[in-house]
Protein backbone atom coordinates (compact mmCIF):
# COMPACT_ATOMS: atom_id res chain seq x y z
CA UNK A 1 0.00 0.00 0.00
CA UNK A 2 1.17 3.62 -0.48
CA UNK A 3 3.53 5.08 2.09
CA UNK A 4 2.85 8.61 3.29
CA UNK A 5 5.92 10.80 3.68
CA UNK A 6 5.42 13.26 6.52
CA UNK A 7 6.83 16.63 7.44
CA UNK A 8 9.48 15.52 9.96
CA UNK A 9 10.07 17.00 13.41
CA UNK A 10 13.69 18.09 13.14
CA UNK A 11 13.86 19.15 16.79
CA UNK A 12 11.82 18.49 19.94
CA UNK A 13 10.25 21.96 19.80
CA UNK A 14 9.57 22.15 16.06
CA UNK A 15 5.90 22.63 15.19
CA UNK A 16 6.12 23.82 11.57
CA UNK A 17 8.69 23.98 8.80
CA UNK A 18 9.13 25.41 5.34
CA UNK A 19 9.40 22.99 2.44
CA UNK A 20 12.27 24.78 0.73
CA UNK A 21 13.05 22.45 -2.16
CA UNK A 22 12.16 19.10 -3.66
CA UNK A 23 15.22 17.17 -4.87
CA UNK A 24 13.05 14.44 -6.41
CA UNK A 25 10.03 14.81 -8.65
CA UNK A 26 6.92 12.72 -9.24
CA UNK A 27 7.83 9.49 -11.00
CA UNK A 28 11.39 9.39 -9.66
CA UNK A 29 12.55 6.14 -8.09
CA UNK A 30 14.20 6.43 -4.67
CA UNK A 31 15.97 4.06 -2.33
CA UNK A 32 16.59 4.24 1.40
CA UNK A 33 19.01 7.02 2.21
CA UNK A 34 18.26 9.16 -0.85
CA UNK A 35 17.83 12.84 -0.05
CA UNK A 36 14.43 13.83 -1.36
CA UNK A 37 13.80 17.33 0.01
CA UNK A 38 15.17 20.25 2.00
CA UNK A 39 13.27 21.58 5.02
CA UNK A 40 13.89 24.97 6.60
CA UNK A 41 13.24 25.62 10.28
CA UNK A 42 13.77 28.89 12.10
CA UNK A 43 17.47 28.09 12.61
CA UNK A 44 18.61 25.48 10.12
CA UNK A 45 18.08 23.89 6.72
CA UNK A 46 17.92 20.10 6.91
CA UNK A 47 17.80 17.31 4.36
CA UNK A 48 15.01 14.73 4.37
CA UNK A 49 15.99 11.17 3.51
CA UNK A 50 13.78 8.37 2.25
CA UNK A 51 13.74 5.26 4.43
CA UNK A 52 11.86 3.04 1.95
CA UNK A 53 12.42 2.10 -1.66
CA UNK A 54 9.81 3.01 -4.21
CA UNK A 55 8.57 5.69 -6.58
CA UNK A 56 7.47 9.22 -5.72
CA UNK A 57 3.81 8.83 -6.70
CA UNK A 58 2.54 12.26 -5.72
CA UNK A 59 3.92 15.45 -4.17
CA UNK A 60 1.31 16.84 -1.80
CA UNK A 61 3.10 20.06 -0.74
CA UNK A 62 4.79 22.26 -3.33
CA UNK A 63 8.31 23.50 -2.74
CA UNK A 64 8.42 26.99 -1.31
CA UNK A 65 5.42 26.31 0.94
CA UNK A 66 5.85 27.89 4.38
CA UNK A 67 4.58 26.82 7.80
CA UNK A 68 3.84 23.18 7.00
CA UNK A 69 2.78 21.48 10.28
CA UNK A 70 4.83 18.57 11.59
CA UNK A 71 3.34 15.20 10.57
CA UNK A 72 1.42 16.64 7.59
CA UNK A 73 1.66 14.42 4.51
CA UNK A 74 4.05 16.07 2.04
CA UNK A 75 4.31 13.26 -0.51
CA UNK A 76 3.13 9.73 -1.29
CA UNK A 77 5.55 6.91 -2.06
CA UNK A 78 4.53 3.87 -4.09
CA UNK A 79 6.41 0.82 -2.86
CA UNK A 80 8.29 -1.55 -5.14
CA UNK A 81 5.90 -3.34 -7.48
CA UNK A 82 3.03 -0.98 -6.70
CA UNK A 83 1.22 1.04 -9.37
CA UNK A 84 2.40 4.64 -8.87
CA UNK A 85 -0.64 6.14 -10.61
CA UNK A 86 -2.99 4.21 -8.35
CA UNK A 87 -0.99 5.23 -5.30
CA UNK A 88 -1.20 8.87 -6.38
CA UNK A 89 -4.99 8.67 -6.42
CA UNK A 90 -5.18 7.15 -2.95
CA UNK A 91 -6.41 9.46 -0.20
CA UNK A 92 -3.71 9.91 2.46
CA UNK A 93 -4.70 8.24 5.71
CA UNK A 94 -3.34 8.56 9.24
CA UNK A 95 0.26 7.52 8.51
CA UNK A 96 3.39 6.54 10.30
CA UNK A 97 6.41 8.76 9.57
CA UNK A 98 8.42 7.34 6.67
CA UNK A 99 10.80 10.08 5.50
CA UNK A 100 13.05 11.52 8.12
CA UNK A 101 16.03 13.76 8.53
CA UNK A 102 18.91 12.61 10.70
CA UNK A 103 17.62 14.23 13.97
CA UNK A 104 14.22 12.57 13.56
CA UNK A 105 15.44 9.50 15.40
CA UNK A 106 15.31 11.46 18.63
CA UNK A 107 11.91 12.99 17.95
CA UNK A 108 10.28 9.76 16.78
CA UNK A 109 10.01 8.49 20.36
CA UNK A 110 7.16 10.88 20.93
CA UNK A 111 5.46 10.51 17.55
CA UNK A 112 2.72 8.11 18.73
CA UNK A 113 1.62 10.63 21.35
CA UNK A 114 1.41 13.36 18.74
CA UNK A 115 -0.93 11.26 16.62
CA UNK A 116 -2.86 9.83 19.54
CA UNK A 117 -6.18 11.56 19.05
CA UNK A 118 -8.00 13.90 16.68
CA UNK A 119 -9.70 17.14 17.67
CA UNK A 120 -10.67 17.25 21.35
CA UNK A 121 -14.10 15.83 22.05
CA UNK A 122 -14.76 18.20 24.94
CA UNK A 123 -14.81 21.98 24.81
CA UNK A 124 -11.31 23.48 24.91
CA UNK A 125 -10.18 24.81 28.27
CA UNK A 126 -10.01 28.57 28.84
CA UNK A 127 -6.57 29.99 29.59
CA UNK A 128 -8.01 32.55 31.98
CA UNK A 129 -7.53 35.53 29.69
CA UNK A 130 -10.19 34.98 27.08
CA UNK A 131 -8.18 32.59 24.90
CA UNK A 132 -8.66 28.85 24.53
CA UNK A 133 -6.25 26.05 25.30
CA UNK A 134 -6.53 23.10 22.92
CA UNK A 135 -5.53 19.78 24.41
CA UNK A 136 -6.16 16.09 23.96
CA UNK A 137 -8.45 14.28 26.43
CA UNK A 138 -5.48 12.24 27.69
CA UNK A 139 -3.45 15.41 28.26
CA UNK A 140 -6.30 16.97 30.24
CA UNK A 141 -6.64 13.89 32.43
CA UNK A 142 -2.88 13.68 33.08
CA UNK A 143 -2.74 17.40 33.87
CA UNK A 144 -5.66 17.13 36.31
CA UNK A 145 -4.04 14.18 38.10
CA UNK A 146 -0.72 16.04 38.37
CA UNK A 147 -2.25 19.39 39.34
CA UNK A 148 -0.79 21.13 36.28
CA UNK A 149 -2.44 24.25 34.83
CA UNK A 150 -2.72 23.56 31.10
CA UNK A 151 -2.87 27.28 30.33
CA UNK A 152 0.81 27.45 31.36
CA UNK A 153 1.96 24.57 29.14
CA UNK A 154 3.09 25.06 25.55
CA UNK A 155 1.72 22.41 23.21
CA UNK A 156 3.90 20.55 20.72
CA UNK A 157 1.05 18.90 18.84
CA UNK A 158 -0.47 20.11 15.56
CA UNK A 159 -1.36 23.82 15.70
CA UNK A 160 0.07 24.12 19.22
CA UNK A 161 -2.28 21.53 20.72
CA UNK A 162 -1.21 20.18 24.13
CA UNK A 163 -0.64 16.44 24.02
CA UNK A 164 0.28 13.82 26.62
CA UNK A 165 4.05 14.18 26.28
CA UNK A 166 3.80 17.94 26.96
CA UNK A 167 2.17 17.21 30.30
CA UNK A 168 4.73 14.51 31.11
CA UNK A 169 7.49 16.98 30.28
CA UNK A 170 5.88 19.60 32.52
CA UNK A 171 5.76 17.06 35.36
CA UNK A 172 9.50 16.44 35.01
CA UNK A 173 10.28 20.15 34.76
CA UNK A 174 11.37 20.02 31.10
CA UNK A 175 8.35 21.65 29.48
CA UNK A 176 8.33 24.94 27.66
CA UNK A 177 6.02 26.89 29.96
CA UNK A 178 3.78 29.48 28.38
CA UNK A 179 3.78 32.93 29.94
CA UNK A 180 0.40 34.43 30.87
CA UNK A 181 -0.84 36.13 27.72
CA UNK A 182 -3.28 38.85 26.85
CA UNK A 183 -6.33 38.38 24.62
CA UNK A 184 -5.57 38.82 20.94
CA UNK A 185 -7.59 42.02 20.85
CA UNK A 186 -5.53 43.70 23.57
CA UNK A 187 -6.53 43.69 27.23
CA UNK A 188 -4.11 43.15 30.07
CA UNK A 189 -1.93 40.62 31.79
CA UNK A 190 -1.74 40.96 35.55
CA UNK A 191 -0.25 44.40 36.12
CA UNK A 192 0.63 44.86 32.44
CA UNK A 193 -1.27 46.72 29.73
CA UNK A 194 -0.78 45.10 26.33
CA UNK A 195 -2.04 47.14 23.34
CA UNK A 196 -3.28 45.31 20.28
CA UNK A 197 -1.58 45.54 16.88
CA UNK A 198 -4.30 47.92 15.68
CA UNK A 199 -3.87 50.15 18.72
CA UNK A 200 -0.13 50.35 18.10
CA UNK A 201 -0.57 51.14 14.39
CA UNK A 202 -3.02 53.90 15.28
CA UNK A 203 -0.17 55.78 16.96
CA UNK A 204 1.61 56.29 13.63
CA UNK A 205 0.60 58.08 10.46
CA UNK A 206 -0.62 55.68 7.79
CA UNK A 207 2.04 55.20 5.13
CA UNK A 208 4.85 56.37 7.41
CA UNK A 209 6.12 52.84 8.06
CA UNK A 210 6.62 49.51 6.34
CA UNK A 211 4.99 46.48 7.94
CA UNK A 212 7.38 43.50 7.74
CA UNK A 213 5.72 40.23 8.88
CA UNK A 214 7.63 38.23 11.48
CA UNK A 215 9.41 35.16 10.17
CA UNK A 216 9.51 31.92 12.15
CA UNK A 217 12.90 32.71 13.68
CA UNK A 218 11.81 36.07 15.05
CA UNK A 219 8.61 34.53 16.44
CA UNK A 220 10.60 31.79 18.17
CA UNK A 221 13.10 34.25 19.65
CA UNK A 222 10.28 36.49 20.89
CA UNK A 223 8.40 33.61 22.50
CA UNK A 224 11.41 32.01 24.19
CA UNK A 225 12.85 35.24 25.57
CA UNK A 226 9.46 36.42 26.85
CA UNK A 227 9.03 33.08 28.59
CA UNK A 228 12.54 33.39 30.01
CA UNK A 229 12.01 36.84 31.49
CA UNK A 230 8.56 35.99 32.87
CA UNK A 231 9.34 32.56 34.30
CA UNK A 232 13.02 32.75 35.32
CA UNK A 233 14.01 34.97 38.29
CA UNK A 234 17.04 36.76 36.82
CA UNK A 235 19.71 38.54 38.82
CA UNK A 236 22.97 40.04 37.57
CA UNK A 237 26.60 40.16 38.70
CA UNK A 238 29.21 42.37 37.00
CA UNK A 239 33.01 42.29 37.16
CA UNK A 240 35.89 44.05 35.41
CA UNK A 241 38.62 41.75 34.08
CA UNK A 242 42.19 42.83 33.30
CA UNK A 243 42.94 41.23 29.93
CA UNK A 244 46.37 42.72 29.40
CA UNK A 245 48.13 39.35 29.83
CA UNK A 246 45.53 37.67 27.62
CA UNK A 247 46.15 40.09 24.76
CA UNK A 248 49.93 39.57 24.97
CA UNK A 249 49.63 35.77 25.11
CA UNK A 250 47.12 35.76 22.27
CA UNK A 251 49.46 37.81 20.07
CA UNK A 252 52.38 35.48 20.77
CA UNK A 253 50.36 32.33 20.12
CA UNK A 254 48.93 33.63 16.85
CA UNK A 255 52.37 34.76 15.69
CA UNK A 256 53.80 31.28 16.30
CA UNK A 257 50.87 29.29 14.85
CA UNK A 258 51.96 26.64 12.32
CA UNK A 259 51.15 27.32 8.68
CA UNK A 260 50.19 25.12 5.76
CA UNK A 261 51.94 24.99 2.40
CA UNK A 262 50.12 28.15 1.31
CA UNK A 263 51.29 30.04 4.38
CA UNK A 264 47.84 30.03 5.99
CA UNK A 265 47.94 29.68 9.80
CA UNK A 266 46.37 26.57 11.30
CA UNK A 267 44.37 28.77 13.69
CA UNK A 268 43.92 32.36 14.80
CA UNK A 269 42.72 32.79 18.37
CA UNK A 270 40.19 35.47 19.28
CA UNK A 271 39.48 36.93 22.69
CA UNK A 272 36.17 35.05 22.57
CA UNK A 273 38.03 31.72 22.35
CA UNK A 274 39.73 32.53 25.67
CA UNK A 275 36.34 33.55 27.13
CA UNK A 276 34.82 30.20 26.14
CA UNK A 277 37.66 28.20 27.67
CA UNK A 278 37.74 30.37 30.82
CA UNK A 279 34.00 29.86 31.37
CA UNK A 280 34.39 26.12 30.84
CA UNK A 281 37.19 25.97 33.41
CA UNK A 282 35.21 28.13 35.86
CA UNK A 283 32.22 25.77 35.70
CA UNK A 284 34.51 22.85 36.56
CA UNK A 285 35.90 24.75 39.55
CA UNK A 286 32.39 25.69 40.72
CA UNK A 287 30.42 22.57 39.73
CA UNK A 288 27.29 23.52 41.68
CA UNK A 289 26.80 26.38 39.20
CA UNK A 290 27.00 23.98 36.25
CA UNK A 291 23.35 23.12 36.70
CA UNK A 292 19.89 23.15 35.17
CA UNK A 293 16.71 23.74 37.17
CA UNK A 294 13.75 21.39 36.82
CA UNK A 295 10.72 21.29 39.10
CA UNK A 296 11.61 17.81 40.32
CA UNK A 297 15.39 17.98 40.64
CA UNK A 298 18.56 19.93 39.95
CA UNK A 299 20.53 18.57 37.01
CA UNK A 300 24.24 18.76 37.87
CA UNK A 301 26.25 18.55 34.66
CA UNK A 302 29.61 16.80 34.45
CA UNK A 303 30.92 18.68 31.43
CA UNK A 304 31.07 22.34 30.41
CA UNK A 305 28.98 22.59 27.22
CA UNK A 306 29.22 26.24 26.24
CA UNK A 307 26.65 27.82 23.93
CA UNK A 308 27.92 30.85 22.01
CA UNK A 309 25.44 33.34 20.53
CA UNK A 310 26.03 33.91 16.80
CA UNK A 311 24.21 36.70 14.97
CA UNK A 312 22.63 35.61 11.70
CA UNK A 313 20.25 37.45 9.36
CA UNK A 314 16.94 37.97 11.18
CA UNK A 315 18.07 36.77 14.61
CA UNK A 316 20.63 34.58 16.33
CA UNK A 317 21.50 30.97 17.01
CA UNK A 318 23.59 29.46 19.81
CA UNK A 319 25.84 26.58 18.70
CA UNK A 320 27.31 24.58 21.57
CA UNK A 321 30.98 23.75 22.15
CA UNK A 322 30.69 20.36 23.88
CA UNK A 323 33.16 19.35 26.63
CA UNK A 324 34.91 22.69 26.23
CA UNK A 325 36.87 22.18 29.46
CA UNK A 326 38.96 19.48 27.77
CA UNK A 327 39.57 21.19 24.42
CA UNK A 328 42.56 23.29 23.42
CA UNK A 329 42.14 26.94 22.53
CA UNK A 330 42.99 26.18 18.91
CA UNK A 331 40.35 23.41 18.77
CA UNK A 332 37.73 25.74 20.26
CA UNK A 333 38.70 28.46 17.79
CA UNK A 334 38.41 26.24 14.70
CA UNK A 335 35.17 24.63 15.92
CA UNK A 336 33.67 28.06 16.58
CA UNK A 337 34.64 29.33 13.11
CA UNK A 338 32.99 26.29 11.52
CA UNK A 339 29.84 26.73 13.60
CA UNK A 340 29.60 30.44 12.81
CA UNK A 341 29.93 29.86 9.06
CA UNK A 342 27.33 27.09 9.01
CA UNK A 343 25.00 29.01 11.32
CA UNK A 344 24.89 31.93 8.88
CA UNK A 345 24.16 29.47 6.06
CA UNK A 346 21.46 27.76 8.21
CA UNK A 347 23.33 24.47 7.94
CA UNK A 348 23.63 23.62 11.63
CA UNK A 349 22.11 20.34 12.82
CA UNK A 350 19.66 20.56 15.75
CA UNK A 351 22.00 18.68 18.09
CA UNK A 352 24.64 21.35 17.41
CA UNK A 353 22.58 24.23 18.81
CA UNK A 354 20.36 22.54 21.40
CA UNK A 355 21.19 21.87 25.03
CA UNK A 356 24.36 23.19 26.64
CA UNK A 357 24.96 24.12 30.27
CA UNK A 358 25.55 27.88 29.90
CA UNK A 359 25.95 30.47 27.17
CA UNK A 360 28.13 33.42 26.19
CA UNK A 361 26.94 36.54 24.39
CA UNK A 362 29.77 38.81 23.23
CA UNK A 363 28.99 42.28 21.89
CA UNK A 364 32.48 43.61 22.43
CA UNK A 365 33.17 43.72 18.70
CA UNK A 366 30.37 46.30 18.41
CA UNK A 367 31.99 48.59 20.97
CA UNK A 368 29.46 47.78 23.70
CA UNK A 369 31.01 48.41 27.11
CA UNK A 370 28.68 46.23 29.18
CA UNK A 371 25.17 44.77 29.08
CA UNK A 372 23.02 42.06 30.68
CA UNK A 373 21.86 39.11 28.60
CA UNK A 374 18.62 37.12 28.90
CA UNK A 375 19.05 33.52 30.04
CA UNK A 376 18.42 30.96 27.31
CA UNK A 377 16.52 27.98 28.85
CA UNK A 378 17.43 25.35 29.93
CA UNK A 379 20.61 27.17 31.02
CA UNK A 380 20.91 28.63 34.51
CA UNK A 381 23.47 31.28 33.52
CA UNK A 382 24.64 33.39 30.61
CA UNK A 383 27.76 35.58 30.45
CA UNK A 384 27.50 38.92 28.64
CA UNK A 385 30.90 40.14 27.42
CA UNK A 386 31.71 43.75 26.63
CA UNK A 387 34.56 45.38 24.73
CA UNK A 388 38.10 45.34 26.03
CA UNK A 389 39.36 48.89 26.32
CA UNK A 390 42.07 50.91 27.97
CA UNK A 391 40.88 52.43 31.23
CA UNK A 392 42.53 54.32 34.05
CA UNK A 393 42.91 52.13 37.14
CA UNK A 394 44.64 52.64 40.48
CA UNK A 395 47.46 50.27 41.37
CA UNK A 396 49.61 50.73 44.45
CA UNK A 397 48.38 54.29 44.73
CA UNK A 398 49.23 55.15 41.12
CA UNK A 399 46.85 55.80 38.23
CA UNK A 400 47.86 53.61 35.30
CA UNK A 401 46.33 52.46 32.04
CA UNK A 402 45.04 48.90 31.81
CA UNK A 403 43.13 46.78 29.29
CA UNK A 404 39.80 46.12 31.01
CA UNK A 405 36.87 44.00 29.84
CA UNK A 406 33.53 44.18 31.69
CA UNK A 407 31.42 41.02 31.95
CA UNK A 408 27.96 40.49 33.45
CA UNK A 409 26.71 37.10 34.61
CA UNK A 410 22.94 36.61 34.47
CA UNK A 411 21.78 33.89 36.90
CA UNK A 412 18.61 31.89 37.42
CA UNK A 413 18.11 32.40 41.16
CA UNK A 414 16.33 29.05 41.45
CA UNK A 415 19.51 27.19 40.48
CA UNK A 416 22.33 29.66 41.18
CA UNK A 417 21.94 31.99 44.14
CA UNK A 418 23.97 35.13 44.80
CA UNK A 419 26.94 33.60 46.59
CA UNK A 420 27.24 30.74 44.10
CA UNK A 421 27.03 33.12 41.16
CA UNK A 422 29.74 35.28 42.75
CA UNK A 423 32.01 32.24 43.10
CA UNK A 424 31.48 31.35 39.44
CA UNK A 425 32.23 34.89 38.27
CA UNK A 426 35.35 35.03 40.46
CA UNK A 427 36.56 31.72 38.99
CA UNK A 428 35.99 33.07 35.48
CA UNK A 429 37.86 36.27 36.28
CA UNK A 430 40.80 34.34 37.69
CA UNK A 431 40.99 32.14 34.60
CA UNK A 432 40.71 34.97 32.07
CA UNK A 433 43.35 37.05 33.88
CA UNK A 434 45.77 34.07 33.92
CA UNK A 435 45.61 32.97 30.27
CA UNK A 436 48.56 30.59 30.54
CA UNK A 437 46.41 28.44 32.85
CA UNK A 438 44.03 27.92 29.92
CA UNK A 439 46.77 26.30 27.82
CA UNK A 440 46.74 23.09 29.85
Question: What does the pLDDT read at residue 32?
Answer: 81
Binned at pLDDT 50, 70 and 90, residue 242 comes out as very high
pLDDT of residue 234: 96
Q: What is the mean pLDDT of residues 146-170?
A: 75
Reply yes or no on whether the pLDDT at 213 is more than 60.
yes
The single residue of 234, 301, 303, 413 carrying the catalytic annotation is 413
pLDDT at 217 over 90: no
The answer to which of 51-60, 74-83, 128-137, 224-233 has the lowest mean pLDDT is 128-137
Q: Out of 2.40.30.10, 1.10.10.10, 2.40.50.100, 3.20.20.70, which CATH number does the structure's domain 3-111 have? A: 2.40.50.100
Residue 159 pLDDT level (bands cut at 50, 70, 90): low
What SS3 class is residue 377? coil
Q: Identify the pLDDT of residue 183.
A: 39
State mean pLDDT over 187-202: 69
pLDDT in tens, 333-345: 999 999 999 998 8
- The residue that leads in pLDDT, 26 or 111, is 26
Distance CA 15, CA 70 (A): 6
pLDDT band at 137 (very low <50, low <70, confident <90, very high): low
Query: Catalytic residue at 379?
Result: no
Instruction: Give residue-wise pLDDT tens across range 23-82.
Output: 999 989 998 888 899 888 767 778 888 877 889 989 999 988 888 898 899 998 888 767
Pairing between β-strand 306-308 and β-strand 358-362 as defined by DSSP bridges:
parallel
Considering the chain, what is the average pLDDT of its residues?
A: 82
The CATH architecture one would assign to domain 125-182+191-205 is Irregular (4.10)
Which strands sit side by side in the sheet containing 65-69, from one edge to the other? 65-69, 16-22, 35-40, 45-50, 99-100
Q: Does residue 222 surpass a pLDDT of 80? A: yes
* CA neighbor of 281 nearest in space, from 242, 315, 324, 329: 324
Q: In terms of residues, how long is the chain?
A: 440
Q: What share of the chain is helix, strand, coil (3-state, %, to 5)?
A: 30, 25, 40
Query: 154 with 166: CB under 8 angstroms?
Result: yes
Query: What is the predicted pLDDT for the residue at 70?
Result: 87
- Asked if residue 15 has pLDDT above 90, the reply is no
Domain ranges of the chain: 3-111, 125-182+191-205, 220-439
Q: Does domain 220-439 have CATH number 3.30.1330.10?
A: no
Q: Is the peptide bond before 378 cis (omega within 30 degrees of 0)?
A: yes
Q: Residue 92: pLDDT band by 50, 70, 90 thresholds?
A: low
Mean pLDDT value across residues 273-288: 98
Amino acid sequence: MPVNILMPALSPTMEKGNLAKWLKKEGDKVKAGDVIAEIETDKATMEVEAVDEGTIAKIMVAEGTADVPVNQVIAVLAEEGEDASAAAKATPSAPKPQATAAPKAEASKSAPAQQASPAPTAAPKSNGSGGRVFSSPLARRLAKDAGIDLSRVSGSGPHGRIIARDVESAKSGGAQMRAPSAPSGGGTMPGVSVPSDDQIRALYEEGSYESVPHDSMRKTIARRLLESKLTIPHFYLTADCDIGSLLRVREEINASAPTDKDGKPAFKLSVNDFVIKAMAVALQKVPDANATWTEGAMLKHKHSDIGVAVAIPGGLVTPVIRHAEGKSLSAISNEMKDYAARAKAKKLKPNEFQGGTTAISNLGMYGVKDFAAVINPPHATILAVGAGEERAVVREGQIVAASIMSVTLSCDHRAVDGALGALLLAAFREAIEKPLSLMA
